[in-house]
A = this chain, B = another copy of it.
């Protein structure tokens, strides 16, 4: 049995390795991700290593063992299923689910999570468009799609941004593009790959770079 804290370390490690595409993580990086001091990470790593959950040598890189990775995926599965539950069944908004799901993800009951999965109809993605690992621990590693990957002439809903620098966010704001805004690609210019889109019922042109930084999900018919 893992403590909440241990589960959070494993989850953070998996997130870091997936997001950065690197196999190994550093102590400081992990500490920043967990919002704790590096010293605490050093101590915990010793414990996780003894439990065979991480591979790690003093002053060396940190990575998950297969056992650790499986546990991390299970936590992410729980997190995303709860988020789905909160949004779909309990009228939670997109932005409210995270903190509650951070608590719910640590509830220990295999039956609970499998029944919840069934109750929700075995969803493939959570409300943010992130893939939900299956009961067997299979995670579809494709991250959520961006506008640049969307199909032409189908409606998508804005989920968030890939780049959260203030310059970009202000730009997005100026474009009247918000979470929930409906976007449809009308055409792509061969010249510079600019996209002609309908965004919130207005026709606009956006650059390829812009489209690559907006996360979207397909709108339900």
Contacts and interface: CB of A to CB of B under 8 A. Distances in A.
Interface of A: 86, 89-92, 96, 99-100, 103-104, 107-109, 111-112, 115-116, 118-119
Contact of A90 (B103, B104, B119): B119
Nearest to A112: B100
B109 A100 contact: yes
B89 A119 contact: yes
Contact of A104 (B86, B96, B107): B107
24 contacts: A86-B112, A86-B115, A89-B119, A90-B112, A90-B115, A90-B116, A90-B118, A90-B119, A91-B115, A91-B118, A92-B111, A92-B112, A92-B115, A96-B111, A99-B109, A100-B107, A100-B109, A100-B111, A100-B112, A103-B107, A103-B108, A103-B109, A104-B104, A104-B107
